Amino acid sequence: MAKKTASRKNNNRGHHQTAHKAPPKPKVKTSILLVLRDQDATTKLLEAVLDASNGKRMLSRLARTCKAFCAPALNILWRELDSLVPIIGLFPNNIMRKAHKPGFGLIKAPESEDWAAVVKYSDRVRRITYNEATNNLATVFPLLENRPHHYILPNLEELTWKAQTASGLERASMFLNPTLKVINLQIESQLPQFSHFLADVATRTKLAGFSFMSPTFIPDNFTHLLRNQKGLEKVELVAPGALGADIGRWSAKLPKLKSLQLDLTGRSPAAVEGFFDKVEETGIDTPSSINSHDSGIFSNEDEFDFSEFRKSAIRLTDDDSYYGNGRRDAGPFSHLRRLQLTGDVSNINVFLEHLPCTLTHLDLAIEDPPERADWCDFCNLISEKFGETLQSLRITATSRSVIKGETSNLPLPLQYLVYLPELLRLDIDLPESVIFTPTDLERLGYACPKLEVLRLCPLARFQNNSPRISLEALGWLTRGCRNLQTLHINVDAQPGSIPILQNQSLSSASLQRIHFSNSWIADPLQVSVLLSHLAPNLESIKWFQDKNRPNYNEIHDNHWQKVSDTLPHLQMMRNIERSFIAHGPPPIQRVLLEKSIDATVEKLNIGVQVRPRTDSAMVQATPSLVNRDVDATVERRSMCIDATPERQDIGVGASVSHAEVSIEAKPVTISVSTAIDTSVFQTMEVTERPEEKERGVRMQKPFLRPVFAIFSSLYRILILYPLSFPARLVNAIFGNFRRKKPQNEVDAISPSNDVSMETIRVSH
């Protein structure tokens, strides 16, 4: 009560004083009221507070301090939630498992009066994220079935749901409001219920953005389930099967598609081209289209171009689908302006070559380092195909390209950029390709004249070798890019030379913020002088001051701090000097004096004799002649060759060799008295000469024929006499006629008991 009475006395005292004095000027109060009356200005102000350090704590204090800031601050604080824990924390502590710890869940289902705080703050939620792997709130969802309203978050616009199981995916149905515009799904495993859930989403919502990220394949009926979502403006598909021809045709037919994100990692160029196999079916090359030159009547002769009449008809009817540049808003990807691709540079080149539209924003995640030939093709491709429309280009590295620990610095040439006249923002952040040269800055100054924001690998670290870009080389950017406002770059800050300091065209009036990252510096005072010349209106200069950062150098940190301290004073002096030049010297007061001056003109007659001097010179140019004789007699020689053929007489002795062969024909006797051995004699043919054998001539001995006749007659007589005596008598008579067998004679006696004579042919 004492405090209240004291405050009342102070208030009365203030009213009493204001009655006698003039009221103060309410300038500050009026400006604050004007800001609070403008809702957009208040929102921008509070968003700037939120982005600052401890921004949420400051907004919560504003909401508790001032009623004017209460509602806008609460709207920003509850606009986006990264989990369901803040919503569960609105329930009373008596139904929580642990008081003031909503992450542990609830004991029982909340009653109708327990939903009062939830209903009060849930209307402010616009975006929410749920991750089944981190949030232990699986037991809470069954307790929320008996809720006073059909939807827990009635004004929800964006839902990010990360599920691993079928039950986790089913819980998202609780947040499928009619106001939902964007849904981001991250499925970690193959779920058979996903098609049913996707059909439920398509029937209950009208989406403007859809994102699906999963290591599993996209369902086969994906395009059929989302066929009625004609209002999609943003599509993100990062999953196997996203490059199918059906998905390409479906995305090309979306009439309001403005942003597309695809993953080309691990795909072949043929698979990337397959995305556009059915896109041509959605083209406008028909007789009734504006850009068509076909009249609809088949003719082999040259036809008249009716497209101008169609264009003029659309202009008269004020068709909104017609652009002023003579192109109709139809065809595949007609509204696509932002493209996000992930993968190898070669696959990105294939995709951009087949893309039948123009782009204003291109965001790429490439595998670092890229191939030199692919990078050259990429720079030429974007310059030729999107040079007139591309406004921002952002190049980062994929997760597989980020290397932990020490990295090998590689150059990334920018000389292949031809001309990007509309480019406003260029952001390159790669882990290995971090080396840039003054030639690259010169090319950027020429190719990107409207560049406003430039970031060239600000996180690069240089330990052994200094950056190749000097501080003077920034003059290529400040002279070519007259709208440059923000610059993130690593340089080797050396003192500036006199010609650079005298060149006024290198001063940039637009450059306001520079982040030197891990730049090197040697002389802080000279660097401050050079910076005051290159960027006279520089407002912010930053560098990495984290001592825990790898390759931290305390000397560079201290020198940059000195530059930050001395630069404002140098800028002030330069501005003062420039003001002198702008306003000029003070006017000189004129004093009038009366004075007479003799203005008689003195004349002088002066003559000048001009006589040219001439010299005569003769030059003898007689050529010297030389006579020479050349002996060209042809030498000849006579030679005789003896061509008499040689003859030789050769004699060959052809003596005929003769051979004599004798055959002993002795009958074999058997000791048995009752049996008489007989031998069969056969005639023997002897081939005496080899030459006659080859000719097939056989000769027989004529003197043997009577002998064989005698033997044959005796053989017949002996057969008639069974006694052995005659046989012995014959053997005794003719046994003396037997001779020794020659060496080449062959025994003709058969090994059997019966004796037979065979015809034997003996060759010499």
pLDDT tens, 555-564? 999 999 999 9
Tokens of 60: 């919560």
Q: How many other C-beta atoms lie within 10 A of the C-beta of residue 555?
A: 10
* pLDDT tens digits for range 504-551: 899 999 999 999 998 999 999 999 999 999 999 999 999 988 777 777
Q: Are 207 and 236 in contact (CB under 8 A)?
A: no
Percentage with pLDDT > 90 across the chain = 40
Percent of the chain exceeding pLDDT 70 equals: 73
Residue 692 confidence (pLDDT) above 60: no
The reported pLDDT for the residue numbered 238 is 93
The whole-number average pLDDT for the span 62-79 is: 88
pLDDT at 702: 57
What does the pLDDT average to over 604-620? Answer: 82
Residue type, 7: S
- Of 186 and 51, the one with more pLDDT: 186
Q: What phi, psi does 532 have (nearest 5°)?
A: -65, -25
Angle (CA) 675-676-678 rounded to 5° is: 135
Is the pLDDT score of 17 beyond 70? no
The most confident of 96-110, 373-387, 571-585, by mean pLDDT:
373-387
Quick one: which H or E segment has residue 488? strand 486-488
Q: What is the DSSP letter of 332?
A: T
Give 717 or 467, the one with higher predicted confidence.
467
Least confident of 269-283, 505-519, 526-540, 660-674: 660-674
Look at residue 284 and tell me whether its pLDDT is greater than 60: no
Give yes or no for a contact between 253 and 228, defined as CB atoms under 8 angstroms apart. Answer: no
Classify burial at 300, counting beta carbons within 10 Å of its beta carbon; exposed 0-12, middle 13-18, buried 19 or more: exposed
The token duo for 680 is 């069969």
Q: What's the confidence (pLDDT) of residue 321?
A: 41
Cα–Cα distance for residue pair 211/182, rounded to 1 Å: 8
Among 248-252, 259-263, 637-641, the minimum mean pLDDT is found in 637-641
Instruction: Quote the pLDDT of residue 741.
Output: 45
Give CATH 3.80.10 domain extents, the chain. Answer: 369-577
Q: In 618-638, which positions are buried (b, 16+ CB within 10 angstroms) versus exposed (e)?
A: eeeeeeeeeeeeeeeeeeeee
Higher pLDDT, residue 60 or 134: 60
Give residue 326's pLDDT. Answer: 39
Segment holding 116, helix H or strand E: helix 116-122
Q: What is the pLDDT of residue 726?
A: 55
**Residue 759 scores a pLDDT above 70:** no
Residue 297 has pLDDT above 50, yes or no: no
Q: What is the mean pLDDT of the segment spanning 58-63?
A: 88
Residue 299 has pLDDT above 60, yes or no: no
Q: Residue 672: what pLDDT?
A: 41
Taking the C-alpha atoms of residue 398 and residue 365, their distance in angstroms, rounded to an integer, is 5
pLDDT band at 585 (very low <50, low <70, confident <90, very high): low
Would you give the DSSP letter of residue 697? -
| pLDDT at residue 696, as a whole number | 44
Separation CA 356–CA 364 (nearest Å): 18
pLDDT, mean of residues 160-181: 91
The whole-number average pLDDT for the span 24-41 is 60
Helix, coil or strand: residue 89:
coil
According to the model, what pLDDT value does residue 760 have? 37
Alpha helices of 134-178 — where are they, by DSSP H?
A: 166-170
Q: Please report the pLDDT score of residue 380 as a whole number.
A: 94
The CATH number fitting domain 369-577, selected from 3.30.499, 3.80.10, 1.10.3470, 3.10.450: 3.80.10
CA nearest 62: which of 101, 28, 27, 36? 36
Tell me the residue type at 310. Answer: R
pLDDT of 454 > 90? The answer is yes
Mean pLDDT estimate for the chain: 78
Q: How far is it, in rounded angstroms, from Cα 72 to Cα 508?
A: 39
The whole-number pLDDT of residue 619 equals 79
pLDDT (0 to 100) of residue 213: 94
Q: Give the pLDDT of residue 546.
A: 78
Encode 481-493: b = buried (16+ Cβ within 10 Å), e = exposed: bbebebbbbbbbb
Q: Which residue has the higher pLDDT, 444 or 403?
A: 444
